[in-house]
Amino acid sequence: MAKNYYIASCIFTSKYPKLSEVIQNYVQEHFNYEIVRCCVPKYKIEFFENKMPDDYQNTWASMPDSGNFTKGDTVYSLCHNCSAIIEETKPGVKLKSLWELILSDETFNYPNYGNMSMTVQDCWRSKERREEQEAVRQLLKKMNINIIELEENYDKTDFCGDSLYRPAPVRNIKLAPKRFVDNAEGKFRDCTKEEQIEIMKDYCKQFQTDRVVAYCHYCIDGLQLGGMDARHIASLLFEPERNGGRI
């Protein structure tokens, strides 16, 4: 029997543990999907457990490290590394973004951002995923956010924050070579931190809005490194009190 999974993401959860827990609870309560940590079994188990806050470590440790994803299953994710790895290692597994799942929920209580203008930053790691890109924009509209587009948007983007200016993780190269080798020519340059900062600052000169929204944690890191007020769409959806939204 086909199953539905939600991957909480080791990296996203280590960066935003409280937000990730809220999302996990939402997925569990509204969809009753199996929630797992990562796309591959036993990936840096102890490393990520130790990165979690003390009051969340036991909860994270109790979650399955991964799932037995098989043909016909559907996996929802907000991590583009996980998406690429599942796509290349699990043929027949359907892959969807968390944003598409939320958009399907007719009961979701969208916060209102009062027509605040935000520039949307698309991500190189998901540049071909039009359904995800469109879902992001539909969610922003439902939150009454005025969307400003970059010239290099959708499949034209080559941005993924400062992550493209350091070597790619060996795991990604091994498990998703199409994404991280074949389609990554000129990327993953080994730059110093100072060089990364200058590259991000230069990139951020193009923005005409005070706030930028992204749906990739690497993009957020790079935008903030470049001096932008960058917000993750997950935070806009689930933490309006931190972002100027009203319920």
50-88 confidence digits (pLDDT tens):
999 999 999 999 999 999 999 999 999 999 999 999 999
Give pLDDT, residue 174: 96
Return the sign of the alpha-carbon dihedral for residues 55, 67, 217, 138.
negative
| Residue 247 pLDDT level (bands cut at 50, 70, 90) | confident
**pLDDT at 1 exceeding the cut of 90:** no
**pLDDT at 12 exceeding the cut of 90:** yes
Q: What is the value of pTM for the model shown?
A: 0.95
pLDDT in tens, 135-188: 999 999 999 999 999 999 999 999 999 999 999 999 999 999 999 999 999 999
pLDDT in tens, 185-208: 999 999 999 999 999 999 999 999
For the chain, give the percent of residues with pLDDT over 70. Answer: 100
